[in-house]
Structures are given as structure tokens and as C-alpha cells.
Amino acid sequence: MPTAALEITDLLVRYGPRTVVDGLSLVAERGRVTAVLGPNGAGKTTTIECAEGLRRPDGGSISVLGHAPGSRAARAGTGVMLQDGGLPLGRTVRDVMALAVALHPGGATSSDLLDRVGLAPVAGTTVRRLSGGQRQRLAFAVALCSRPELLFLDEPSAGLDPHGRRDVWDLVRERSSAGSAVVLTTHLLEEAEELADVVHVLDGGRIVASGSPLELIARYAGSDTVRVTLRRQLAPEEERSLAATLAPCRLERESGAYVVRGAEPASGSASGPDAPPDASRAGSSTAITRAIATWCDEAGVQIVTLRAGGGTLEHAYLALTADAATVSR
């Protein structure tokens, strides 16, 4: 089975004389979360609409699971969660899920999905009586009915409280771990940093930077230091493995602890989607902490203490979009 679930090549979209997507190319791979970020008007919504078969581009090509966007074969393996949900207000939660499940035989069951998104207690409630967060959960459950190979999520945790947000994030990770390609659009940068394996930042209809959250933070955000104490000292091969996981940040031993260090982005360093990962060296406390915790869990190494702080994906994003806006003017 091909790794890429979605392939966009040289996409071009015009609204009259205005070009809103200008030669954009990206790939979303199975088993990974791909975040598409950008300010309003950057072209991300138009790009996703073309991939979903809702809009016809003026140029370029798109492959969805090896098929044309909007074709029956593409739709059969695709799940879509829209920000407004598009849900029938007069029907109950149970009715909406029953219809969605009936359209996808062999997929997930209604009761299981309602339990997973925390809506089982309100299954008999009409959609119009749900809170905004509950509607988001229902829209997410509908998108999961077919156990899709490719899942489009637009602001999946909008309106959710912190517990609800974490529940949705767990579901996203579950689908990704099961082999689905997840394409995420969100204005919540914490969400992208937490979930995404790959981030594409758009501005002016073009991709201005691509990479993992850690790579983008390292290139464009400020400096950071993370100090972690482990239950035991790592063997040399374990240190090399952890250092590779944390690259482009530096892993050092210091007074019985391990310290992850970054440096301020170099003046005049390369930028854009083709910039090398080590164009500057920095890190985000969130991204680094997550990487350390994941590595230690997989290696069976217990963390005793961990202290962190510094730049985030939001800092990198603001720097990228501010620079692009300055150039465009």
C-alpha cells in the first residue's frame, strides 16, 4: 500500500484575477498527522476544499488514496470533520449516529463512538440542544464512522474544555496509530504542536515552512533549555538514540542530569520549506518534553525530574507569518 494518502502537486487556484493558492505541493502520509497552518486568507481552506473534492483547482494535480478528489472511491476511504459540523439540528444524537453508521457498513459502531467521545449520556438529545463542544464531539464521531484511511479535521477541539480537548486528541492519535493519514487545520497552535508529525505553514497561497514541530521551533523560535534527571544513567547507545530523537537540539550530560540545549536562530539563517533542520538550533519545552517522555517510555527508563521552558510552535508560527507578511508588502 502506498505511504501517501494525499498528494498535492503544484496546486493553483484563482478567484478572478487573484491567485489564492500559488503552486502549492504537499503530501500527507498514512500513520502521520499533517497540520496545515496559516492566517486567514493564506489559502489553507481553499487547499483542503480542493482535496475534499468541494472545489475544482485551476491547475496542478491532487491524488486522494490514489483517486481523483470527490470520486466515489476517494469518498469511501475519507472522513471529514467540518468546523460548523453540518449536523441536522432537529435530530437526536442517536439518530445522527445511526444514519452515519448505516452509510458506512463494516465501520465503527454507534455505541462505541458515542462512548469514546463522551456523548452516550445525551444520545436522546437533539443537536440544537447540544453545547458547542458537544456538537464538535458529535461531528468528530461522524467523521470516524468509516474508520477512514484519510481523515480531514477542521478545528477539531474548538469549543471544548481541557478534558474534552484531551479526549479528542487521544482519538486523533488512535486513528493515526491505526494507520490513517490525518490532515489537521487549526488556529490552536498548542493542538498542532501536540498532535502533528509534520507541519506546513502557509502564507500568501504558498508554503513558507515545513517540518516537524521540533524542527520549526528549532529554526524560528527562541532558545530553550530542558533538564531531565533519570532513574539510571543511560548506556552509550541509549544516549545516541535519545540524541537522535531530540535532533536538531543538543543533548549534554551535566551534574548527574541530561540537559537539552538550543541556541537563538542565527542572524540571516536560511528560511522557507527547504531550509536545513540545523539552520538554527532551539527547542520548545512542549515538543522536547513530549519527545523525551515518549523515548523514555519506549526504552523503559524512568524520569525522576524534568524542568523545561522556552519557545513554542506558536512563537515559530508568529515569526514565520510576520516575516512573510513583511516580504509581501
Residue 320 inside a domain? The answer is no
Domain assignment of residue 324, yes or no: no
Q: Looking at the structure, tell me whether residues 22 and 152 fall in a common domain.
A: yes
Regarding whether 241 and 215 lie in a shared domain, the answer is no
Q: Are residues 211 and 227 in the same domain?
A: no
> Range of 81's domain?
4-219
pLDDT at residue 309 in the model? 59
- Contact between 50 and 56 (Cβ < 8 Å): yes
Do 57 and 13 form a contact (C-beta atoms < 8 A)? yes
Same domain, 128 and 183: yes
Segment-wise mean pLDDT, segments of 10 residues, the chain, 329 residues: 90 95 97 96 94 96 96 93 80 94 84 90 95 87 91 89 85 92 94 94 95 84 75 92 88 80 42 38 66 93 79 83 53
Domain for residue 14, yes or no?
yes
CATH number (domain holding residue 257): 3.30.70.600
* Sheet of strand 257-261: strand arrangement: 250-254, 257-261, 225-230, 303-307
Kindly state whether residue 272 falls inside one of the protein's structural domains.
no
What total of structural domains would you count in the chain? 2
The residue assigned the cell 512563537 is 315
What pLDDT is attached to residue 168?
Answer: 86
Look at residue 155 and tell me if it is in a domain.
yes
Does any domain span residue 145?
yes
One domain, residues 228 and 208:
no
Rounded-to-integer distance, Cα 211 and Cα 196, Å: 10
User: What sign has the CA pseudo-torsion 116, 122, 123, 125?
Assistant: negative
Torsion of CA 108, 109, 114, 117, to 10 degrees: -20
pLDDT of residue 15: 93
**Same domain as 205, residue 109:** yes
Q: How far apart are CA 204 and CA 189, in angstroms?
A: 19
Which pLDDT score is estimated for 316? 85
The answer to whether position 321 is within a domain reads: no
CATH no. for residue 162? 3.40.50.300
**pLDDT value, residue 263:** 37
Strands 150-154 and 78-81: parallel
Give me the pLDDT at residue 173, please: 92
Three-class SS of the chain: CCCEEEEEEEEEEEECCEEEEEEEEEEEECCCEEEEECCCCCCHHHHHHHHCCCCCCCEEEEEECCECCCCHHHHHCEEEECCCCCCCCCCEHHHHHHHHHHCCCCCCCHHHHHHHCCCHHHCCCEHHHCCHHHHHHHHHHHHCCCCCCEEEEECCCCCCCHHHHHHHHHHHHHHHHCCCEEEEECCCHHHHHHHCCEEEEEECCEEEEEECHHHHHHHHCCCEEEEEEECCCCCHHHHHHHHHHHCCCEEEEECCEEEEECCCCCCCCCCCCCCCCCCCCCCEHHHHHHHHHHHHHHHCCCEEEEECCEECHHHHHHHHHHHHHHHHC
Residues 8 and 84 in one domain: yes
Q: Rounded CA gap, 239 and 257, in Å?
A: 12
